[in-house]
Every structure is written in structure tokens, then in C-alpha cells.
Amino acid sequence: MPHQTFAAVAIRRAMELICLILLLAAARPGVPIAAAQGGDSATLSVVAEAVNVRSGPGVTFSVVGGLRQGDVVPILSRDADSGWWQVQLPDGQTGWVTDGSAYVRISGDTTSAANESADQPTAPTTGAVLSDHEGGTLVFQTVSGGAIYAVNADGSNLRYLTDGMDPAISPDGQWVAFTRWGDTQHGALGSLWLIRIDGSGERLIVGNIHQPKSPVWSPDGTSLVISVMHGGRTQVEYKCTGERPPDGAYDIRMKREVESDGDIDFKWCYNLPPHPQWALRRVDVATGASEDLPGDLFCYAPDWSPAQEWRLVYNGERGLVNLDIQRGATWALTTDVNDHAPVFSPDGTRIAVSYWQNDHWEIHVLNADGSGRVRLTKMSPRDELDQMMTGHLPKAYNNAAPAWSPDGNRIAFLTDRTGQWEIWVMNADGSNQHALLSADIQAQLRIQYNGMDEHALTWR
């Protein structure tokens, strides 16, 4: 089976990073600091480090922006039921902000701020509402930086939680960790957050992190490990040298130069794509204290073994890598650059990966020691025949982002086999593949998968 070259992987990873930055810039636009308001008109000042601005009065509404400490904005109205304030942002848009005294301070005459009630939004209807479902709860993102939802394992009780990326449910099933990127035009400083699985209690763990991704919980639930960017080549570089271009170079050409003494010199001219370096950082959930972990220059999408507290597995530059966080030692688990985003089974004996299968994504499972690889997903002969009957050459669909069920007997994943990205579930041996939600609900969610090592699904 042909594999990608290292150079091809380097170029694809660079393009993925650029796409993610552009995607997040569109998903979470920055909000400039507001000018102070004059007169006796009612204003809201931010006293916390940051607050979300939402589309309605409550945490069930989507985030439409943010305000930072010291920002001052005019108040338009107040919701009588929740007490939340409707404010006007500097760009003229409006949104709703909490009335919590730990977050904001109100000044001026608020009597003119008319009280009004607003209906809470609901997620697309999925049938009977259940809680503490015996099959556990899935949490998923619709797109990196977009809406994060929770749903019971039978597809019921779909509900909106918050906005962010790479959700991860805690070992006790009570909390969801996720990250956000802030001002993507100034280095994409981001933050690590928690929210209860019922959508309450959202809080910041630590901020001012450079492009944080992929939070993963320690088995005891006291720590999180994230990927953070820490240098490397962050922009396209143009070079002309006498040496041959390195792996990953593109737009290669020879340049002829005439020296002052009349000699002719030839140089290689080429572009090098962005090639940022990523490290792993451990964060204490209670205090936000953090420490950088040993590892390679390129550490992506880690997962923590539930059976071996000392062991992490992450994407390296040339395959999956083991990390012993107690000894600070690393060694190869696989040497296949097509392995991505490893996820341990609940008992720690198996690992599921998103695998780049020539030109599309498939799901493989291997033993925790790297042996016994099995491909779980594959285009069926019937689907191939259906494509040929409609006059098309067979084109494989994608299957990616696996997440194990709490008992390890099933795997949820994303697939675009119907023409749109949807959440499907299968048995752990690849059998009984079926959609989790109705086609109508899946269409409303508009899920996207961009192949950027997203932790798009999590299941406890």
C-alpha cells in the first residue's frame, strides 16, 4: 500500500495550520476595546479577565463575541428573567452579557433600560429527553472554534453547550475541557476552559497560550495535557541558495546570475511552507499551573493511557510516539506517517486512529503496543456499484475522528458517505455502521472535519 512521503506530510500539515487559523478567524471574530461612554447613560464595564457575548440572555445561546477586562460598552436593555444585559459592541452589533458581579460592573442610570424577556434557544429536536443515559454521553464540535453539543448515546437529548474546539469529557463524566483561540490576527493566543456537561459552570483554567489544541485528561482527572505551538517556521519563506532544496520545498526553479567578474552562477530558488513546532504542556485543573513536557519538536493530538498513568501517545513527525512523562523518555510506537489522532480504548488495550488512506480518511485500530493493526472502515462494493451506475468513477468517502464508547464495545466517528459530514456509530470490530442522528438533524448541525487532527468527538 503506497504511503505519503515525509515531504508531502510536511506540506499538508502546514496547509492544515493555515486553514485552521483562517477558519478560527471567521468563527470567532475579535472584539476591539470599547471607548468609554460619557454622560449618565448606563454602561457595562468588564472586571473579569474576559466575558463571552452571546446571541441571547443565557449560557445556552451561542457566543457571538467577547469583551476583555477594562472594556466599557453601552447598555441597551435587560432581560427580566435572567438578569442578563443587552449591550452594543463597538462594531455596532448587539449581544448579551451576564449580570454576575464577579464579571461586570454597571454604571449610570439603568431605569431607561427596558426589561424584556427572551425565549431560550433549543437544539434541533431529537425525540425523548433523557439524562444519565446508560450508554453514556457524546460531546462533539460542529467545526473547530464553532458550537459544541452533547447528546445521549442513543441520539436523544441533543443540547448546545458552548463554543470552542477539541472537547474532552473528564474521566468522571462531569466536565468538558476545550480550548479557544482569541485574536487570530496577532499570533492566535488562546485559552483552556472547562464547562459542566449540563452546560453550566463555564470557567477559564488558563489563558495566554499560543494556539492551544487537543486537551486530554489524566486518568485521575486532576491534569490536562494540551498541544501548544512553540516556534518553528510560521510563514512561507523564499530562498535562493547554491544547495539543493530540502524536503517540502515547492515552486522550485533554477536562477542564473552573472557575477561581477563575468562568471555565471546558478542557484536553487524555492518556497518553504510554514512548519511550526508543537510541544506538549501539562496543566493542573485546579490551579492552572503548567509545565512543558519533554518530547519531540512536533507533538500533535496526544492521548493519555487510562491503564498506564505515566504514558502518553501523540502524533510525531514520522508516526505515533510514546512518551513516559515520569522518565521523560520517548520512543516510536508506529513508523507510519499516515497515523493521526490516537485514541485509547477505555481499558487501555487498543488504540483507534484516523488513517490517511492514500487520498482519504479511514479508521484503523491497533493494539496498545502498536501490533495487530485492523482497518475498520471501507467503502462497500454496493456503494462502488451505485457510483458507477450513476456514471461516476468510484470515489472513496471519509471516515475519521473515532471515539470509544465507555464500555469499549462501540466506536463513534465522523463520515461524509452521504455527501455531508455526519456522526455514525459502529461496533468495535467495524460491523453495524449506522447514523446516530436523523439525516435532517445532521443537516442542521453542518458538521465539518478538516483533517487537522481535531478531537471532534468524545464519549463517556
**CA atoms of 138 and 119, how far apart (whole Å):** 26
Write down the pLDDT at residue 91. Answer: 78
DSSP 433-459: -EESS-HHHHHHHTB---SS----EEE
DSSP 8-state code for residue 429: T
Beta 72-79 vs 115-116: how paired, if at all? parallel
**Cβ contact 31:65 at 8 Å:** yes
pLDDT per residue over 284-302, tens digit each? Answer: 999 999 999 988 888 989 9
Q: Name the grid cell of 377.
A: 472502515
Query: Where would I find the beta strands (DSSP E) of 309-373?
Result: 311-316, 319-324, 329-332, 339-344, 350-356, 361-367
Q: Name the grid cell of 184.
A: 487570530
Q: Name the grid cell of 408.
A: 469499549
Write down the pLDDT at residue 229. Answer: 86
Q: Work out the number of other CB atoms within 10 angstroms of the CB of residue 394.
A: 12
- Strand partners for 244: none
Beta 275-284 vs 223-233: how paired, if at all? antiparallel
Write down the pLDDT at residue 114. Answer: 57
**CA atoms of 39 and 420, how far apart (whole Å):** 52
Beta 311-316 vs 319-324: how paired, if at all? antiparallel
Domains plus CATH for the chain? 43-116 (2.30.30.40), 137-232+285-459 (2.120.10.30), 237-272 (no CATH)
Consecutive H or E run containing 387:
helix 381-389
**Cβ contact 126:151 at 8 Å:** yes
Q: Which residue, chain included where needed, has cell 460491523? A: 431
- Which stretches of the chain drop beneath a pLDDT of 70? 1-39, 49, 59-60, 112-134, 183-188, 384, 387-388, 391-394
DSSP 288-312: --EEEPP--SB-EEEEE-SS-TTEE
**Cβ contact 228:279 at 8 Å:** yes
Q: Which residue, chain included where needed, has cell 448579551? A: 96
**CA atoms of 75 and 73, how far apart (whole Å):** 7
Closest by Cα among 235, 247, 326, 312 to 279: 312
**CA atoms of 66 and 176, how far apart (whole Å):** 20
Closest by Cα among 41, 39, 77 to 56: 77
Write down the pLDDT at residue 290. Answer: 92
pTM of structure: 0.70
pLDDT per residue over 425-435, tens digit each? Answer: 999 999 999 99
Q: Name the grid cell of 334.
A: 508506529
The amino acid present at 321, given as its one-letter code, is V
Q: Supply φ then ψ for residue 179, to 5 degrees.
A: -120, 160
Q: Report CA 216 to chain centroid distance, whole Å.
A: 12
Write down the pLDDT at residue 277. Answer: 83
Write down the pLDDT at residue 130. Answer: 35
Write down the pLDDT at residue 352. Answer: 98
Q: Which residue, chain included where needed, has cell 450513476? A: 390
**Cβ contact 157:134 at 8 Å:** no
**CA atoms of 379 and 375, how far apart (whole Å):** 11
* DSSP-based three-state secondary structure for 251: strand
* DSSP-based three-state secondary structure for 204: strand
Closest by Cα among 288, 287, 313, 282 to 300: 313
Sign of CA dihedral 351, 357, 359, 361: negative
Q: Supply φ then ψ for residue 318, to 5 degrees.
A: -130, 30
Mean pLDDT score across all residues of the chain = 84
Q: Name the grid cell of 130.
A: 433523557
- C-alpha dist (Å) from residue 334 to 46, 319, 338, 351, 381: 49, 5, 10, 12, 30
Write down the pLDDT at residue 14. Answer: 59
Write down the pLDDT at residue 65. Answer: 79
Closest by Cα among 201, 125, 132 to 159: 125
Q: Work out the number of other CB atoms within 10 angstroms of the CB of residue 228.
A: 22
